[in-house]
């Protein structure tokens, strides 16, 4: 049974920072590139950042230079460090593989950027 458990979200002011974590089942984690996705209010889910098994990373243009994805292969965990947050970053953030596996979406973690 694959599990993806996201945590670390919260309410933050514009310009603030948060670090999200996603703990994954080991078999799923070690065999997949992992990514963070987000779904804002009234919007479709979108890819934010990905990290391959080998550690190569890639970012959506709207977070480039502000967010950093990393994976800890010993802990089966993928992180998303988010700096200089903007109100438009408000969304529920999810982790999943690349490409994503629809049946394994977790509950996500809510990030709200507001003054």
DSSP for 2-32 reads --EEEE--EEE-TT--EEEEEEE-HHHHHTS
How many of the other CB atoms lie within 10 Å of CB of 73?
12
**Joined tokens for residue 54:** 């080998």
Q: What is the DSSP letter of 102?
A: G
Q: Residues 30-70: pLDDT tens digits?
A: 999 999 999 999 999 999 999 999 989 999 999 999 999 99
Measured in whole angstroms, the distance separating CA 9 from the mean position of its chain's CA atoms is: 10
Residue 1 has pLDDT above 90, yes or no: no
Taking all residues of the chain, what is their mean pLDDT, rounded to a whole number? 96
6-18 pLDDT, tens digit each: 999 999 999 999 9
């Amino acid at each position: 049974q694959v599990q993806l458990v996201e945590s670390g979200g919260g309410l933050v002011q514009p310009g603030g920072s948060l670090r999200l974590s996603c703990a994954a089942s080991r078999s799923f984690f070690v065999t997949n590139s992992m990514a963070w996705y987000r779904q804002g209010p009234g919007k479709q889910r979108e890819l934010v950042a990905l990290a391959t098994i080998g550690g190569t990373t890639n970012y959506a243009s709207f977070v480039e230079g502000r967010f950093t994805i990393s994976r800890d292969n010993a802990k089966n965990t993928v992180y998303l460090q988010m700096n200089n947050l903007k109100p438009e970053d408000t969304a529920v953030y999810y982790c999943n593989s690349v490409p994503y596996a629809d049946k394994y979406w977790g509950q996500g973690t809510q990030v709200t950027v507001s003054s």
